[in-house]
Structure 1
Amino acid sequence: MLFLHEARGKFPVGATTFVTPARPARTIGTVKRVLPDGKLEPALKLEEVAFTAYYPANTDGARKGIDWVLRPMRDSLQGFVHFAGVPRWILWPLLYLFGSLIKVPVYNNAPLLDPRKVNAEKERKQWPLVIFSHGLGGSRTAYSQICSRLAASGKVVLAIEHRDGTGHACLPRSWNSEGDKSQPTPLWYLRDVDVTWEDGSDRPPTPFPLRTDQLVFRNHEVHTAYEQFCRFVKKESDVQLEAIDGAPIDGHSWSILDELSGLPPVRWDREVALTGHSFGGCTVLSMLSNETLPEYKPIPVTHALLLDPWLEPLPTPGPVPLLRDSSSNAVDVESDSSNTLVISAQADGKPSPRMLVINSEIFTLWRDHFPRLQEVVKAWEPSGNRIVTLIGSKHADFSDFPALPVVRSKASSTFLDIIGRLSTAFLEDQIDHALTEVPSQDLETKVVGVRKDGKPRRKIIGEVGKIIIS
């Protein structure tokens, strides 16, 4: 058995994967999936929502370790093959002989730790709520290091398993009105060549039409997960939420009320944080810059943590914070003569969510992307200093992949430690102080070669462990 690194923090971490039906089940968009026999079926069918909760745990009697590679292995293998576009025979020895042994060092289905027992002398009597959205090829366990780190600091993190064809593999089911479930149907990563739009259908008029529909799908998933989790914490009798492995859930630990305040152990009704990596960061920005879907209530988001956010699927200019007048849903956004977005103050006095972006070196050196990111962040953080670049890092360094046993390096551990420290500090409103504790420098680059398109390949001059603040 091979374990990932133990999460640094005050509390042991538990993990429970919840599933809940989508009510009603629906098809998102008009995109079709091409089946092996050439027939077409809707590609984005929302029938079941799944998410893994990482949280401070009561470990009494709990078993440590959950599978990092999703089971069954054959479906994960097919998903990775489809995502990577490599022959099956190359990946299967690595996945079966190596991946099958990897465990996440968290306590499976452990009860939630009662916050009153560890915060008796402090104001905090509830665990704050964080919702995490994964990137392309990701999963609910692919970012277990950062999710566990946040949980160990005293937060409940809901890592969504997006079943929109952006994960390498998932096994959605349909639920009938009595709660009976169908056999799971494997869904693997959807590439552009795997989908089509029938003639006459409403294909989104965007450069990334599949991603546009997937953003809508993800929006439904996040809201469904949030609402059903809140109902579970409130101990509503008709909530349909269960563990994906069929194990019993200690519902009492999740819903026990404080005797004095009457509050549940999870703070779901205010100061919620949204975070995501890559397309997950894109998901967060999409949700915060558009009206809440009519069938849901707004999530009370106060913090947006973006890890290497990918902006290309989003409309330009923007995205910008959604500003609502207290008497309408109008967005109050103007554009000046230089086409720079001007954001006016919110009419109802509610500030936009605070924002922090942690970027890899690769994304900061992306010439067409980074200037747009700077303009986007200005809309949320006019004072600046909210984009942090990790010198020497790559796009995958936010996930578990570079930190896997045997292949992990000192650099990958350094990146994850900085990401964990800054993320935790930001969510606890201590980011200004935390930034002073990490060595920083100005942005300076050098040419180190030529790219395939003939343009110079650049690299930031500096050491691993240092950051650039912009």
Structure 2
Amino acid sequence: MGAMFSLKLPTAKGPFHVGCTDFMIDHTREGSFCRLYYPCEAVEQSRPPLWIPRYEYCAGLVNYLNRSRWSIPLLNLAFGYQTVPVAWNAPFRAEEKYPLIVFSHGLGAFRSVYSAICLEIASHGFVVAAVEHRDESAASTYYYRTAAGDVEQLPEETCEDGTPSAVPISPQVAQPGLKEVWLPVVKLKTGEEEFPLRNDQLRQRVQECSQVLNLLTDINQGKSVNNAFVGNLCPSVLKDCIDLQRVAMMGHSFGGSTSVQVVAEDPRFRCAVALDSWMLPLSEEMYSKDPGTVFFINSEKFQTEETISKMKRLQSWNNKIKIITILGSVHQSMTDFTLLTGNLLSLAFETKGTIDPQEGLEIIQKATLAFLQRHLDLPKDFNQWDALVEGEGDHIVSGSPPLT
């Protein structure tokens, strides 16, 4: 079954140290909000960010899960102390160009819920931009409006001289004169059909992913951008360090269908990795044309005969579309929750299957890297895991398992 499960996120195994920062470029709702994982210089003392960046996200999760508000402090007690094993705002390793992955979260999630996958990929020499969507599919998110005269105070743990601190950091520090506006997740009304809402959200999500690529393209070209957060990594350090010829999408559930749609619409993205993709938001029109290059990595317990048939309809267009299933996995096996929940919470929310959580995530990470090498023409040795892309190995099958 692999290593003994422990309630923390694993450190990265790749050859690069991993840094992390948040960008909110254009503080309004129409701007871009993402968490950046990137190769960084080694630092003696690292500032680990909290896994749940703000208490408000606990409230958002409780609201999304339709639990009592009394559950908010309990959720914060269970997860509020967890940190991500990366160096917050560590110096960017500006010694080469890195391929870029834009990551899209699932319904009811937010930018830090897939930290284990994102930081592991970054440790192998990628810049990973995890979008926080403002289509009201996130458990909660926020933007700022201008509030003249309102000046936010710096939290005590902020180091004015930029010296790294071992204290976990949260919340973000906004520029003076900005006021937070929080967006809760939108819920279906009684009797409301789901497809129109989700398809509208999908279109906004696609636009937001392309906008993040636009933003990072501008930064790579040396254009000045203004981060709403004070004291975070200066965007200008990424100049000439992003390989814009090697860009891919990745996402889970709603983020999986978002990734499929992005690659079909924006040719700058060369391929997509769709983790347990939720196929409902995709319109019928999607299946009438070549969608591009997509790698579907499915859990054993989420997909149905209908959704698998939709994936196979897309696969009929070209032989670059791959479908594999991780046996013993559930939908939440692709998120950090599978690593951070004990047996009791796992039973309540089905965050674990029968496969060891770390082993399942390692399959996802290695298969993803092998697929990216193949379709981004990377000069790496990730092809050592090519068999996984074909569905060959322990705990995986090509296509879908026999339906019981």
TM-score w.r.t. length of structure 2? 0.79
Q: How far 1:363 moved relative to its partner? A: 3.4
**What amino acid sits opposite 2:12 in the alignment?**
A
Equivalent residue for 1:168, pick from 120, 135, 139: 139
Equivalenced residue count is 352
**What amino acid sits opposite 1:89 in the alignment?**
W
Indicate whether 1:50 and 2:46 are aligned. Answer: no
Partner SS, residue 191 of structure 1: coil
Distance in 2 of aligned mates of 1:194 and 1:48: 32
Q: How far 1:435 moved relative to its partner? A: 4.0
1:398-447 Cα deviation digits (max 9, x unpaired): 11001116558761111101001111111111777524369967xxxxxx
Q: How far 1:383 moved relative to its partner? A: 6.2
Partner SS, residue 367 of structure 2: helix
1:446-469 Cα deviation digits (max 9, x unpaired): xxxxxxxxxxxxxxxxxx941101
CA contact (8 A) 1:360 1:394 kept: yes
Q: How far 1:59 moved relative to its partner? A: 2.9
**What amino acid sits opposite 1:310 in the alignment?**
W
Equivalent residue for 2:387, pick from 407, 423, 436: 436
Specify which structure has the higher proportion of helix.
2
Kindly, what percent of the aligned residue pairs are identical?
28
Change (3 A) 1:281 1:440: closer
Distance in 2 of aligned mates of 1:287 and 1:465: 31
Change (3 A) 1:107 1:375: same
CA contact (8 A) 1:14 1:108 kept: yes
2:268 is matched with: 300
Equivalent residue for 1:388, pick from 295, 307, 324: 324
Partner SS, residue 318 of structure 1: helix
Indicate whether 1:90 and 2:71 are aligned. Answer: yes
1:358 is matched with: 297
* Aligned positions of 1:67-78 closer than 5 A: 67-71=50-54, 73=55, 75-78=56-59
Specify which structure has the higher proportion of strand.
1
1:188 is matched with: 184
Equivalent residue for 1:276, pick from 244, 251, 265: 251
Partner SS, residue 158 of structure 1: strand
1:233-270 Cα deviation digits (max 9, x unpaired): 22213x2235x3x2142455322xxxxxxxx12112x1
Q: How far 1:98 moved relative to its partner? A: 2.2
2:359 is matched with: 414
Distance in 1 of aligned mates of 2:305 and 2:330: 16
Q: How far 1:182 moved relative to its partner? A: 3.4
Change (3 A) 1:90 1:371: same
Distance in 2 of aligned mates of 1:405 and 1:161: 23
Partner SS, residue 19 of structure 2: strand
Distance in 2 of aligned mates of 1:400 and 1:216: 26
Distance in 2 of aligned mates of 1:406 and 1:383: 38
Q: How far 1:64 moved relative to its partner? A: 3.4
Indicate whether 1:6 and 2:2 are aligned. Answer: no
Alignment RMSD (CA, Å):
2.9
Change (3 A) 1:21 1:467: same
Partner SS, residue 64 of structure 2: helix
2:309 is matched with: 371
Partner SS, residue 154 of structure 1: coil
* Aligned positions of 1:222-237 closer than 5 A: 222-237=209-224
1:16 is matched with: 21
1:310 is matched with: 278
Distance in 2 of aligned mates of 1:96 and 1:113: 34
Partner SS, residue 105 of structure 1: coil
2:378 is matched with: none
Distance in 2 of aligned mates of 1:377 and 1:161: 29
Q: How far 1:312 moved relative to its partner? A: 1.2
Indicate whether 1:79 and 2:55 are aligned. Answer: no
Distance in 2 of aligned mates of 1:439 and 1:315: 28
Distance in 2 of aligned mates of 1:383 and 1:48: 34
Q: How far 1:145 moved relative to its partner? A: 0.6
1:147-205 Cα deviation digits (max 9, x unpaired): 011100100000001121111111211359xx975311121111013999xxxxxxxxx
2:237 is matched with: 253
Equivalent residue for 1:145, pick from 93, 116, 139: 116
**What amino acid sits opposite 1:434 in the alignment?**
W
CA contact (8 A) 1:439 1:465 kept: no
When structure 1 is superposed on structure 2, of 432-441 and 391-400 the one drifting more is 432-441
Change (3 A) 1:358 1:222: same
1:346 is matched with: none
**What amino acid sits opposite 1:52 in the alignment?**
R
CA contact (8 A) 2:263 2:293 kept: no
CA contact (8 A) 2:16 2:125 kept: yes
CA contact (8 A) 1:4 1:405 kept: no
**What amino acid sits opposite 2:237 in the alignment?**
S
Equivalent residue for 2:226, pick from 240, 243, 248: 240
Partner SS, residue 214 of structure 1: helix
CA contact (8 A) 1:281 1:310 kept: yes
1:466 is matched with: 395
CA contact (8 A) 1:143 1:400 kept: yes
The unaligned stretches of length 5 or more in structure 1 are 26-45, 116-124, 197-205, 256-263, 291-297, 321-332, 334-342, 344-351, 442-463
Distance in 1 of aligned mates of 2:43 and 2:99: 23
CA contact (8 A) 2:367 2:388 kept: no
CA contact (8 A) 1:55 1:157 kept: yes
* Aligned positions of 1:201-216 closer than 5 A: 208-216=195-203
Q: How far 1:69 moved relative to its partner? A: 0.8
Indicate whether 1:66 and 2:49 are aligned. Answer: yes
